[in-house]
Each structure stands twice: as structure tokens, then as C-alpha cells.
Amino acid sequence: MNTPTGQNNRLGELIINGRPFVWGQRTYIMGILNITFDSFSGDGLGLDLDKTVAQALEFVKAGADILDIGGESTNPYHSQLLSAEEELQRVLPVLKAVSAMTDIPLSIDTYKPEVARVALENGAHIINDIHGLEDPAMLVLAAETNVPVIAMHMRGTPQTMQKMTDYNGDVKEAVLHYFRQRLEVMTQASLRRENIIFDPGFGFAKTYEQNLELLGGLGIFRELGQPLLVGVSRKGFIGRAMAGPGQEPYPPPARTYGTAAAITIAITQGADIVRVHDVDEMVSVVRLADATIRRSAEL
């Protein structure tokens, strides 16, 4: 079997809502459901429950393995900070409706422990935290509930992160160091290692050049032995690279081909999960990449 770069020390299998996730066997697809009005990607579904449920079911039919539901945008330019109550008003109807229609694992995209707790009580199976579970209350919740967690790397907040991009010359080593620290903290807080997934945080406190460097060097994170989620879909660095030097970056909805290329590169570097807006298109991309890189019998 062909093996993606740096793919070693794997933790094996994780069962989420009865579904097996066997790391290294194939790449899993997480479909994004933005219950927002201000998403950078232009795919915010607002509060239209019928439209959101229809989108969720389309993603499932297309081949998504996980649905990621978020109510607060992380757009660095004009996102709106929400209270826990406001965020729950957005995501709870979706969680309840979608979990009643499908057994696909659902992820709650939040950094607020109070939101995560209620979401887990109403259909969510995974916590996806852009702040790397740095809130002690989130650590306690994850340990209590024994659910998988996705810990992302970022600095500051969506409003301040693009002013915090100095990594002393090596963004990959800085992110790796952060993950080592978080892994130690999380295991000391009684989280099971097999429940911990890392996300390098493309676009979060990263410059154009740093995003490209990170994408080309994802194999460095395999030494951790943890599954890796990559969220490059429609990100700004893709739009800029597609347009070429000195040109206006492609807008988010026009970044599908660039996203496909970035995802393929990520899979060659050992990505286990890819978080995407365009599920139908990226399922095909992932299947071809896996068939070539992993020689997966399942595909």
C-alpha cells in the first residue's frame, strides 16, 4: 500500500455514533453547515431551517462522513460575536432536526463550553474548538462526556489574529510545538488520546506564505500520532494563488478548483479529515486522491 508522507504511529480506529473511522485507510469528509449571515465563504444559511436541513441531507447523500454545524462566523473582517444564548438559538434547531433524520456524526463548531454541552445533549457527537480547548471548562466537558474533540491552532481572536503572525520564521514548528503542549494538557485532563484530533488552522493567524508553507509541510504533524483535520476549503490564500501575482484574488465561491488542489496536496501529506463547503465535488477529488495515494480497498 502507498503511504502518505509521514504517516506513522497511527492510533487506529475511532467509533463515532456507531460509525468506524479508521485512520490511514481513507480520507474522511466533513461537510460545513454555517448557520450564519456573515461567513467569509458566502455559504451562510442564516436561520432558514428548511434550507439548512436540505443542505445537510444533500451532503449526506453526496458522501459526507461528518457534518460540522456552527452558528458564529470567524470571518476576520466583519463577523459578529454572539452570546451563548444567541449561538444556541441558531444551532439547536438544526442539531435536533438533522439528528432525527440521519445517524451521520455531527460536530458542533464552537469555543463556548456552555454551547458545546447543550449541543452534545441534543444530537452532537464531536466538539470542534477553534481555540484548541484552551478554556478549562471545555476540557472538563470533553473529559466528562468522552467525545472526540478537534483542537485547532490559532492566536488571538478572529478580530485580532491577522496581527499575530510572527512565528520566528517557522510556522510549522510553532504549530507543532503548540500541539505537543495541548496534547500534554488534554491527556493530563483525562481526555483519551484516541479522541483527540488536531487542525493546523489554515487562515487563522497565518499569512499567505505561511499557509502555503504549512500546506506543503503537513507531514511534520504525523509524529504526534494523532488524526489530522485540514480545513483549507475556499480559504483566502487559495484565491490569491489561483489569481496569480498582482491580481485580485478569486472570490470564495470561485475557489473550488484551488480547493481541490489543496486537498489533494493535504492528502499526500497524511490528512485524515478534510473540512469542505463543496461536498459533492470534493468527494470525487478525495476518492481519486485516495485511490492513488492510499490504494484504499474501500474506494
3-state secondary structure labels for all residues of 167-196: CCCCHHHHHHHHHHHHHHHHHHCCCCHHHE
| Sign of the alpha-carbon dihedral angle for 165, 168, 169, 172 | negative
| Candidates 172, 234, 275, 294; catalytic one | 275
Q: In whole angstroms, what is the distance from residue 86 CA to residue 189 CA?
A: 29
Q: In whole angstroms, what is the distance from residue 299 CA to residue 297 CA?
A: 5
Q: In whole angstroms, what is the distance from residue 104 CA to residue 62 CA?
A: 12
Angle (CA) 257 56 83, round 5°: 100
| Candidates 112, 235, 240, 255; catalytic one | 235
Q: In whole angstroms, what is the distance from residue 26 CA to residue 111 CA?
A: 28
Would you call 96 a catalytic residue per the annotation? no
Residue 197, φ and ψ in degrees, nearest 5 = -120, 135
Please name the amino acid found at residue 122: N
Q: In whole angstroms, what is the distance from residue 130 CA to residue 289 CA?
A: 27
Residue whose grid cell is 504533524: 221
Would you call 192 a catalytic residue per the annotation? no
Catalytic residues: 235, 275
